[in-house]
Structure 1
Amino acid sequence: MLTTIQRRIARDIFVTFFLSLFVITMLVMFVGVAREAINQGLGPVGVLRLIPFSLPNALSLAVPGTALFSVCTVYGRMSADNEFVAMQSVGISLLPSIIPAVLLTAILSITTVGLINVAFTWGFHGVQRVILSSVEKIAYNKLQRDHYFQHDSFSMSVRAVSGRDLVQPQIKIDRPGAEPIRISASTAQLSYQADDESLQLSIANSRVDVGGVASLVFPETFVHTIPLGMDAQVDLLVAHPSHMAMRDLPTASQRQSDDICRRENGIAVHTAFSILSSKIDAIANSESAQRLSEINRSRIRLHRLGTEMHRRWASGFTCLAMSLIGIPLAIRMKASDTMTTFGVVFLPTVLIYYPIFALTLDMAKNGRLVPQGVWIANLVFVFASILMMRRLVYQPA
């Protein structure tokens, strides 16, 4: 059961946090997301459809900084008013007054983990669907403004745009493992097909070149369909780890490990058969090099899958780590100016926490560090905060 002082501190942190979070989130959504979407030609209706899917990501980014701002505001004001000095003068320790902030930021950290998971999965795919449904309008606006448009492996440049007609388009379609397709035409039109989430390209009087190998002429209208949609069934062996639900990560890791074992067994069988049949050259040919390259890519993806779960939890608990640093620094500064306190406290976070987190995350993804290594930045901040709080309690300023 919280004491009267603890309840007051918790209430002040709670009110400050949600007021600040509302303001910051609105700024991020309407100044950042909405402005960029309108500049890309999405339109007001598209922006409104985009906001719900962008909200989890905006909240997950805003919560850690807002929590730090809240604890700096509350504890900095209390220290400036000598409330902590009064508590210590009557024999009350500072530690109980820190408990509300620790509990609230721990709850916020767990909530942030959930927001990150939602933003990386539901939010990401929702944004993709909104953009795909507006790709025709985006393409025409960009072609009219820049005379160039690109989406994944498809790129197009035009001389001019007249209504729906694209004048003298030059089209390039890249194909993995094959020569690119280049198309030049007198006119073309784009239309989005919602039933199969594809972009239909109608080309009149066109010439098609396939990597200099073949050349075809189509004097009449030629229709080419460009698939844009995402597969409804997520393949755990090829899906990007960052856009997978946390519940699917363990299964994906197991399937990736099984796939690596299967590939290694295949190489072992191929090598043994080559030795038995005295075909030594077959051991180190281009096909064998390709198999080794595929195994290396599979191993890197396995490292990414193993790191992704720890990455999301460590990113969420940035909220707690930052707040634990902010509490003793705000008390020690004794400044009633909230922005000054927040600026001074936020500086070590920018200069220390995020570089360490980015470095350990990159090393863990490449297999040079165990996946749990992404927690190093959090542990450094927690350890530093314990030392500062201990000094604050036993050696008060």
Structure 2
Amino acid sequence: MDAGPGGLDLGILQRYVWWEVARAFAMALVTMTGIFVLFMVAAQAMGSRMLTPRDVVTLIPYIIPSTLPYTAPVSLLFAVTVVYGRIAGDNEVIAVKSAGLSVMTVIWPTIFLGAAVSAILWQASRTWIPMSAHEAKMVLFRDMEDVVYKFLKRDKQFSLPGSPISIKVQDVEERLLIKPTFWKKGPGDSIATTIQAKAARLHFDMEAKKIVVDLEEGVVQNHGDGEEVAILPQGMESFEFPLPDDRRNKGFSLKTVQEYTNAELEENMADARQHLALDRRRQAIAAGLLFGAGKPDQVAWGDVKDAFINHAEYRKKYNEWETEKQLRTSMAFGSLLFVVLGAPIGIRFAKRDFLSAFMTCFLPIIGLYYPLMLLGINMGKEGAMPAYQALWISNLVLALLAGWVYPRIIKY
């Protein structure tokens, strides 16, 4: 490697800086990820009350990717501020400038590292991370029968998506439902039948695509014009109802917005845009034509009302999906900006010891960036500002601060 002015070997210097930052980054990432995973598993266990030790062991590999958008940028910022604070405190930056070199000589290697981390996070947040987040949730629900029993044990009630049956229980003892109540929906979501029992068991027949319910001391009440109550004979009686079809079972995946891949988000957003553009217009045109034909009594006012209500719901969902999509890109790009701003600040404060570098460089940046990010998330979801603008406020502020700091550091 060619030596720079003053005999300083640029290759060795840059490799040294890059290696020190990479090593500190790896150590911080492992530590912070471990802490995050422990807290997340503990929160899941306390919140759901459904995790067995086997579930915990299976869950951990799927939780780790979900922590990376938060732990990787913070770990990188921590490494940069500590390493550059130390080398500046040891007068190594002054030695570089004395050799006639720009301070950027020691910053560029870390900027490339930050860009690489940002690119990896950006790609992972589009596919791998949301898929892992969904798999982490599905660890709790290995099969449909487990889902129902676990939800009933936790929430004491459950409605199977796409099914006419809702269930409420007093308690669950292993696979026995204590004092369950079953509601069967009729037309228009009205309650057609209520079934109560001393105890019940559920049996899922996946081949026949039905659920069989065995009842003990069951009482059936039919609602409607001919309401009647029937006490079932002593012993275990049963009734059955069909499982939802495969299309509706997709809702059983219980996906949150964080669990959608970018391709799924874009598909949902395209569908929402179509509904937002057409639904209200169709109902308004249909109502206008009927009014013009002198048939206002034939206007489907219920459909008109539903179109306007659904419009607000589609708008809300669209904002959530767009916000999540922009959030992933913004947070991934934040890793690069953490390096761009953290390195000169670490040099400027020139703190050799770990605690001083942490307090003077790391905390102020974190204290500025994440509150602005939360503000952008809220504004994007509420529709107060387009998500592609709201989610980049925090990054824009860091970029402006970096533009203000660098001329001063170059003269330092």
Rate the CA distance shift 1:152–1:140 in 2: closer, same or farther, 3 A. Answer: closer
Q: Are 1:61 and 2:73 counterparts?
A: no
Deviation sequence 1:229-276 (CA, Å, 0-9, x none):
9859969xx986543322344444333323333314412321321321
1:277 alignment partner in structure 2:
293
1:33 alignment partner in structure 2:
41
d(CA) in 2 for partners of 1:143, 1:369: 40
Deviation sequence 1:340-391 (CA, Å, 0-9, x none):
4224434334432222222222322333322321111111111112211222
2:402 alignment partner in structure 1:
385
Aligned-pair CA distance for 1:304: 3.5
Q: Are 1:328 and 2:337 counterparts?
A: no
1:149 alignment partner in structure 2:
156
**What residue identity is the alignment partner of 2:336?**
L
**What residue identity is the alignment partner of 1:54?**
I
d(CA) in 1 for partners of 2:211, 2:16: 58
Q: Are 1:3 and 2:14 counterparts?
A: no
1:317 alignment partner in structure 2:
333
Rate the CA distance shift 1:207–1:105 in 2: closer, same or farther, 3 A. Answer: farther
Aligned residues: 390
1:158 alignment partner in structure 2:
170
Give the alignment of 1:277-296 within 5 angstroms. 277-279=293-295, 285-296=301-312
Deviation sequence 1:99-153 (CA, Å, 0-9, x none):
1221111111121123323355321331233211278678878988x8x634567
Q: Which has the larger radius of gyration?
A: 2
Q: Are 1:168 and 2:179 counterparts?
A: yes
Rate the CA distance shift 1:127–1:273 in 2: closer, same or farther, 3 A. Answer: same
d(CA) in 2 for partners of 1:32, 1:389: 38
Rate the CA distance shift 1:302–1:58 in 2: closer, same or farther, 3 A. Answer: closer
2:189 alignment partner in structure 1:
178
Checking the alignment, whether the CA contact within 8 Å between 1:133 and 1:192 is kept in structure 2 is: no
Checking the alignment, whether the CA contact within 8 Å between 2:290 and 2:296 is kept in structure 1 is: yes
TM-score (norm 2): 0.78
Q: Are 1:130 and 2:142 counterparts?
A: no
2:369 alignment partner in structure 1:
353
Aligned-pair CA distance for 1:12: 0.9
d(CA) in 1 for partners of 2:245, 2:332: 30
Rate the CA distance shift 1:47–1:177 in 2: closer, same or farther, 3 A. Answer: farther
Give the alignment of 1:1-397 within 5 angstroms. 3-30=11-38, 32-33=40-41, 36-37=44-45, 40-118=49-127, 121-133=130-142, 149-151=156-158, 156-158=168-170, 161=173, 164-169=175-180, 178-179=189-190, 183-190=195-202, 201-208=213-220, 216-217=229-230, 218-219=232-233, 220-223=236-239, 241-279=257-295, 285-373=301-389, 374-394=391-411, 396=412
Runs of at least 5 residues in structure 2 that lack an aligned partner in the other structure: 2-9, 161-165
Rate the CA distance shift 1:106–1:135 in 2: closer, same or farther, 3 A. Answer: same
Indicate the RMSD between aligned Cα atoms, in angstroms.
Answer: 3.9
Runs of at least 5 residues in structure 1 that lack an aligned partner in the other structure: none
Rate the CA distance shift 1:174–1:98 in 2: closer, same or farther, 3 A. Answer: farther
2:5 alignment partner in structure 1:
none
Checking the alignment, whether the CA contact within 8 Å between 2:198 and 2:217 is kept in structure 1 is: yes
d(CA) in 2 for partners of 1:263, 1:334: 61
Checking the alignment, whether the CA contact within 8 Å between 1:120 and 1:244 is kept in structure 2 is: no
d(CA) in 1 for partners of 2:356, 2:55: 39
d(CA) in 1 for partners of 2:62, 2:289: 53
